[in-house]
Amino acid sequence: NIKGFIFDLDGVLTDTAEFHYRSWQKLADEENLNFNRQINEQLRGVSRMQSLEIILAGQEVPTAQKKEWTDRKNEYYQEYLAELTKKNILDDMEAKLHQLKKAGYKLAVGSSSRNAKKVLKNLQISDLFDTISDGNSVERAKPAPDLFLHTAEVIGLEPAECVVLEDAESGVEAALAAGMIAVGIGPAERVGKAHLVYTSVSDIDFEEVLTKI
Ligand code: G16
Ligand code: MG
């Protein structure tokens, strides 16, 4: 019996992936690190430091240097966030959120991003959610189930009562590990392990989600 929906942020409610990409690319160009759009695809849903580790691909770098690089990347990212507005909400997601809320479902955000609250504020949809869990909420990032389990606990639901919407492989894995229903958004190669898959955000049909699972 589904009582709530937990939304990933980047790639589900908004497309900040492009801003993450440009910020990493700028850092990579400055520091002569190998990076491109293809590598960026692997960073979907992955925490900031883990993203740098993927870019470094085993290259050893002192901890202080890594910290300075991730801080700098985040400064570039925050410059993009300053331009973020309501227009950046993906498709008809806001209307869909209002419908679910009206129907009595609990709504939450479960994002790996430490900037999630700022992003939601700029999108002007913070008030729609009963709770917002982000990269600061738990120690272990996706694919660990911790973030989603924490979110369910805060809104007072059992894992099996929650549906998670995710665009990242690591996020789908986290939802499944948490014992929740996973709805994947994107190509099957990426989110095919989910219970139900939609190609894009605009294809999501919540009536169908509720009847099919
Ligand atoms: C998002 C993005 C990731 C990003 C991560 C951390 O996760 O998909 O690419 O690396 O947040 O972001 P920050 O550097 O802002 O803490 P999600 O879970 O919302 O898709
Ligand atoms: Mg995502």
pLDDT at 184 over 90: yes
- The reply, when asked if residue 115 is annotated as ligand binding, is yes
Looking at residue 177, its amino acid is: A
Q: What's the pLDDT at 10?
A: 96
- The reply, when asked if residue 170 is annotated as ligand binding, is no
Task: Please tell me the distance between residue 211's alpha carbon and the centre of ligand 1 in angstroms.
Answer: 31
Task: Please tell me the distance between residue 78's alpha carbon and the centre of ligand 2 in angstroms.
Answer: 17
Q: Which ligand is nearest to the CA of 17?
A: 1
Tokens of 198: 């939609």
C-alpha–C-alpha distance, residues 190 and 171, integer Å = 10
pLDDT at 183 over 90: yes
pLDDT tens digit sequence for 105-140? 999 999 999 999 999 999 999 999 999 999 999 999
Reported pTM: 0.95
213 pLDDT tier (thresholds 50, 70, 90): confident
Q: Which ligand is nearest to the CA of 115?
A: 1
C-alpha–C-alpha distance, residues 93 and 65, integer Å = 39
